[in-house]
A = this chain, B = another copy of it.
Amino acid sequence: MGSLMAKHLLDKGHSVTVYDLNKSAVNELVKQGAKNASHVSELGEKCKRVFTMLPTPEIVTQTYTGPDGLLSKATPATVLIDSSTIDPGTAQAVHRAAAEKNVKFFDAPVAGAVPAARAGTLVFMVGGDKKDIEELLEPYLLCMGTSVYACGPIGSGCVAKLCNNMMLGISMLGLSEALLLGKNFGLDPKMVSAIINKGSGRCWSSEIYNPEPGIVPTAPSTNGYQGGFKTNLLYKDLGLAAKVAREVCSPTPLGALTHEVYRLLMQSDGFQEKDFSVIYKFLSKKV
């Protein structure tokens, strides 16, 4: 994700410095004109805007507030923007640590995943002061995406993202149940999908990301559930949504149960690294 996003900033003429543990991703961008930071803290020291895209809340905390982290050398001249999918509590904690150094920090997760990152059509959901978002972030974010939502105070971007991803998990599991109900009765999942897509059960999962192989040529299911959005990442997001739900006492019966069904999947060999639509295969009859 990160390298696809950086590419757009380069294309728009910005000077870009990059850092990643994955050296081949870094080298690719360097070939295209980016500079290579020797350490992540160098970004905080030298760049006007720092964008991060990291896999878990724990890694975000460490990258920002750990010894030699981004905040160790950041100054008020730097604006920090994290696009990871994390819980709002972590974003708030990093924000507080940044504020102590007079450094501005925003949570800015994205919708649209890899295809939108590649096309430069990401949707940004941003937590923080609305005027700051418009003035300090938008000029850069709109290089990489098409929409920027100022969602509310720090952490609000994270919550908006978790709302979407919880809905995504529920849709995919629900659709899998619906297609299998038909299939186990004898109906063709392709036909049932076509009907659902003309009906009130229509959703992104049925149209774009159908879990029955062969219906949508570009869907991971058609490619052996390879690539796409990994099961362990959706599972993590469902856990973060559950955490927020507990904190604000919001009812999420289907969200909680989807989390549990994905946990059963996580326990089974070979599923964690597959695209999350593999839940369809997990529910299919084994006998």
Contacts and interface: CB of A to CB of B under 8 A. Distances in A.
Interface of A: 88, 111-113, 123, 125, 147, 149, 151-153, 155-156, 159-160, 162-168, 170-171, 173-175, 177-188, 191-192, 194-196, 198-206, 208-209, 239, 241-242, 244-246, 248-261, 263-264, 266-269, 283, 285-287
A167 B201 contact: yes
Given A151-B191, A199-B111, A174 B184 contact: no
Contact of A159 (B125, B168, B181): B181
Contacts of A254: 170, 173-174, 177, 254, 257-258
A267 B251 contact: yes
A171 B258 CA distance: 13
A181 B239 contact: no
B111 A195 contact: yes
A285 to B, nearest CB: 5
A253 B287 contact: no
A202 B77 CA distance: 38
A5 to B, nearest CB: 17
A202 B163 CA distance: 11
B244 A253 contact: no
Nearest to A285: B267
B185 A88 contact: yes
Contacts of A173: 253-254
Integer count of this chain's copies in the complex: 4
A286 B151 CA distance: 25
Nearest to A258: B254
* Chain B CB within 10 Å, residue with most, of A202, A204, A255: A202
Contact of A242 (B164, B170, B246): B246
A18 to B, nearest CB: 27
A185 B170 contact: no
Contact of A170 (B147, B155, B174, B286): B174
Q: Which of A166, A251, A283 has the most CB of B within 10 A?
A: A251
A267 B287 contact: yes
Contacts of A244: 181, 185
Contacts of A166: 174, 177-178, 181, 201
Nearest to A159: B185
A141 to B, nearest CB: 14
B249 A266 contact: yes
A67 to B, nearest CB: 18
A183 B250 CA distance: 9
A245 B182 CA distance: 9
Contact of A252 (B181, B200, B255, B267): B181
